[in-house]
Amino acid sequence: MSTTNPYLQLDQKIVGDIYTSTEPMTLLTTLCDDFGSRFGGTEGAALAADLIEEKFAAYGLANVHKDAYDYDGWYRAAATLEVLSPIAREVPCISLPYCPAAAVEGHLVFVDEGVEKDFEKEKDRLPDSIVISRSGGIHRMEKYDRAILYDAKGFIFQNHYPGYGDVTGTIGWNHEAVIPGIGLSYENGEFLHRLSRQGEPVRVRIKTTDEYRRTTAWNIVGEIPGKTQPEEIIVIGCHYDGHDISQGANDPLSGMVVVTEMARALSAYAGDRLARTVRFIAWSNEEVGLFGAYHDAEQLGENPTQVRFTWNLDSAGSPGGRKGIQLHRLPDFEPFIENAAEEMGQDILVGQGISCYSDHYPYFLKGIPTGSITTVGRPPGRGFGHTAFDTVDKTDAMSIREAAALGARVVLRQLNAESLPLQLRGTEEVERMLKEDSGLEQHRLREAVYEKLGKENLRQYCDAVRT
């Protein structure tokens, strides 16, 4: 069985160019080695925004601009964890982003991976305690929100990977981080475990001194206007901020440079023959709560029918497996991908599932169909992600090329398809998914936290998220 490929010559140019291009690794290296973490509020974030804007313009995109917004930026300051009894000892730690300045004391309660049954097992000991949970399994925010719901006073997040140092990740997610949270290395967490196994309760004190300042951030946008249906838009984006303790080379930049590479190749070879408009976007402040994506999605209005699809390429070029596509619960779109795969003469692995934890989410909330390019076959968990060890030397040029070649060719077909089997989801359908979808548990936990504390009592950090 052979399917003719109407894009064969274009595919050859795009794939040939991407597989011989050194552009993405050069850009990634500059973004990491020269600009550092690019965490919101750092000078590196501003320099990265300038450079990405420059690249979008150099690749021939139209309407290239920075879209600025203000938010309450979080600035790391000293954090301490003291063991008070049965011995006195200071244990090295870092605050988790959006931790408030606070001082709390309590006995340690271990809740393993922090799923519901782990908390339920310890529920009598949890009020006024300091909870300690390992990374891995479910997302950090679910563990943290359960700690609030079970009346803990403080939250300790232990890296479950030996040798990767302190682990980080936001605990604010646009509302005031209710109880202080700190990150620990695997080894320091294991020390606390050993201490607690000696039988006596372990009492600890957490002190954090983090600060907030009004801060400006930028999404960077550029387009290739469609020739025949310019009012229909496909969005392709990735965030460019890393965590402040990290270069964020794989998360997010291995995906950011897939976006710039797709922009470069599509503009060079197909710029004058795309039916729909493709909008490339570098989102800011994903790591602290998707602020940039919320800001962009909010501007689309209440019924954003013009945006037909949003691709989130967060970390898309990470090494460690084949590239595939994750559709966010869009079974009707699978035949389109299968047809594209036949034309391209390659298998494309397609999964179905959704989470709240990256930049597609604000678009999903608007009803827009969303998907990601992902690495299939990687072991679960972040590995060195969200630690100081996510550095340029961990990236892989071939993984970035594979993701860019796959993305550019699939999106080329999506931009020129006669019709797209995709519709905006209605509000009721989005609500149903928020209530029922196994991937959206965090939404339900957050609702429970708001109910417990009163959302109006929580300081909000980014206007765009306050809906």
251 contributes a contact to Zn ion by CB under 5 A: yes
Select from 92-100, 113-121, 311-319, 320-328 the region that touches Zn ion (CB under 5 A): 311-319
Alpha carbons 160 and 179: distance in angstroms, whole number: 22
Measured from the CB atom, is 256 or 325 closer to Zn ion? 256
State in angstroms the smallest separation of the CB of 167 from Zn ion: 15
Figure out which of the listed residues 100, 189, 252, 362 binds Zn ion, where binding follows CB under 5 A: 252
Select from 91-99, 124-132, 251-259, 400-408 the region that touches Zn ion (CB under 5 A): 251-259
314 contributes a contact to Zn ion by CB under 5 A: yes
- Adjacent-strand bridge partners of 148: none
State in angstroms the smallest separation of the CB of 273 from Zn ion: 32
Measured from the CB atom, is 11 or 261 closer to Zn ion? 261
Provide the token pair at 433: 């998914």
Q: How many CB atoms lie within 10 A of CB 426?
A: 10
Question: Rounded to the nearest 5°, which phi and psi values hold at 217?
Answer: -135, 165
Measured from the CB atom, is 118 or 251 closer to Zn ion? 251
Measured from the CB atom, is 156 or 256 closer to Zn ion? 256
Select from 178-186, 267-275, 312-320, 372-380 the region that touches Zn ion (CB under 5 A): 312-320
Helix (H, G, I), strand (E, B), or coil: what is residue 128?
A: coil
State in angstroms the smallest separation of the CB of 74 from Zn ion: 17
Select from 129-137, 180-188, 250-258, 429-437 the region that touches Zn ion (CB under 5 A): 250-258
Site size toward Zn ion (CB under 5 A) is 3
Select from 23-31, 89-97, 309-317, 439-447 the region that touches Zn ion (CB under 5 A): 309-317
DSSP class of residue 378 equals P
Q: Are 308 and 422 in contact (CB under 8 A)?
A: yes
CA nearest neighbour of 147 among 157, 158, 136, 160: 157
Q: How many CB atoms lie within 10 A of CB 182?
A: 27
Lookup result for tokens 């931790």: 99
Strand blocks (E) in 228-328: 229-239, 276-283, 307-312, 322-327
Measured from the CB atom, is 252 or 324 closer to Zn ion? 252
State in angstroms the smallest separation of the CB of 359 from Zn ion: 8
Sequence-separated (6 or more) residues with CB below 8 Å from residue 306: 231, 232, 233, 300
Measured from the CB atom, is 223 or 314 closer to Zn ion? 314
Measured from the CB atom, is 188 or 285 closer to Zn ion? 285
State in angstroms the smallest separation of the CB of 250 from Zn ion: 9
Measured from the CB atom, is 253 or 410 closer to Zn ion? 253
Q: Burial code of 346-367, b = ≥16 C-beta within 10 A, e = fewer?
A: eebebeeebbbbbbbbbbbbbb
Write the burial class of residue 467 (CB in 10 Å: 0-12 exposed, 13-18 middle, 19+ buried). Answer: exposed
142 contributes a contact to Zn ion by CB under 5 A: no
Select from 67-75, 208-216, 247-255, 391-399 the region that touches Zn ion (CB under 5 A): 247-255
Which parts of this chain interact with Zn ion (CB under 5 A)? 251-252, 314
